Structures are given as C-alpha cells and as structure tokens.
Homo-oligomer: A and B are copies of this chain.
Amino acid sequence: MASERIVKSYEEELKRLRELIARMGGLAERQVADAAYALVRRDSELAGEVVGRDAPIDALEREVDSFCVRLLALRQPMASDLRFIIAALKISQDIERIGDYARNVAKRAIIVSGQPFLGGVNGFQWMAQLVQRNLKDSIDAFVKDDADLAERVWAADAPVDDIYTGIFREMLTHMMEDPRNITACTHLLFIAKNFERIGDHATNIAETVHYAVRGASLPDDRPKADASMEAQTP
C-alpha cells in the first residue's frame, strides 16, 4: 500500500511537471501573440503589458528548475523518466528565452508605434503566427509524449526563414529609399530576427521532446532555408 502511494505520488509529480511546462508554454505563446498584435496594431499600451508580463515566465522557469532538481534527488528516476525530467529542464530554458524575445519585440513595438508602418505587416503577422503554432505544437508534443508531432515541428521551420528573408529585403529597400526610415526599419529588422529566433527555440524544444520520447537524437541538419544570409547581400 505504502509503495503504491509512493508510485501514485510520483506519477502525480510527473504530471505536475507537464502542467508547469504547459503553463509556461501557454504564457509564452500569449506573449508572442500579443507582441505581434501590438506591433501591427500600433498598440503601445498592449506592448507595455507584454513587457510587464515577462516576470511570471521567469518565475516559472525557476519553479521548474527546483522541481526537477527535487525530483532527481528524491526519485532517482531511470531511463525515460530521467530523459523526461532533463527535457523539462531544457525546455523551460528555451521558453524563458522565447519570453525574452517576445518582450524585446514589445519594447521595439512601443518605439516604432509612433511612425507610419513600413509595409511588411502581413509578413510580421504571418511569421508570428507560424512561430506561435510551432511553439504550441512543440509544447503539446512534450505534454503528450508525441515524438511524431515533435518531428513535424522540427521539419516545419523553413517557411519562417523564408518570410524573414522577405522582410529583410523589404526593409533594406525602405532604408535605401529614404534615410528617415532607417531607425524604424532597424527596429523592424531586429523584431523579425526575434521572431525567427523564437522559431529556432520552438525547433529546439521539438528536438528535445523527440530525444526524450525516443531516446535518439534527430539528425544534425534540419531542412532549413538558410537564404536569409544571402538575402543580406542583395
């Protein structure tokens, strides 16, 4: 009986870890969505809220960390449980970074909100939606132990890179046309880069989930459309 109770409570602890990561992922998704919305709607009030909402994500990261350390110390898990806990540690670090990037987008959205939008609205919206979906799917894959979903996310990042390349080209054109656009365009370039990096972290999460579930790594080379570097020399 006692040992049954211990097992039960261990299961509950692992469930709680899933919930913590799901909650953290949910907060980050909302930050990404609201930062993008604030940017394209020139809504600096919402952007200000996004900036102020980063702390709960950081706090959750610390909670996941100490919870994982406690689980490792008290439960001394083996094999797949061990991989699962290690994965949670890594994923919380990725989500925390995603939160940082969303906050940075929001800060820059405030700065550019006073200026006319220089095209690219569709690009930004689309890019934000794609990385948000990849983030959501990668977290879902973790919560459901779904290695196939993780693998799909891992392979799905290429369009994000394409949109980034398009935005980059467009911004360069605006800057060259009129020097008064330069400051705003520079911010928009960094914003696009931030979305791209959010996409990279979603891919990282997917890789981690795949490893946790299958016990084997995905190949080194992801199908990545790396045209953005060349695009920078138009």
Residues of A within 8 A of B (CB): 55, 58, 62, 65, 68-69, 72-73, 76, 78-79, 82-83, 86, 89-90, 93, 107-108, 111, 172, 175-176, 179, 182-183, 186-187, 189-190, 193, 217, 220, 229, 232-234
Copies of this chain, complex-wide, total: 2
Residues of B with C-beta under 8 A to A187: 232
* Complex: A72 Cα to B199 Cα, angstroms: 30
* Complex: A78 Cα to B234 Cα, angstroms: 55
CB distance from A42 to the nearest CB of B (A): 15
Of the residues B65, B220, B233, contact of A111 by C-beta under 8 Å: B233
CB distance A176 to B182 under 8 Å? yes
CB distance B69 to A73 under 8 Å? no
CB distance B62 to A73 under 8 Å? no
CB distance B172 to A232 under 8 Å? no
Contact status of A83 and B69, CB under 8 A, knowing A172-B182, A186-B232: yes
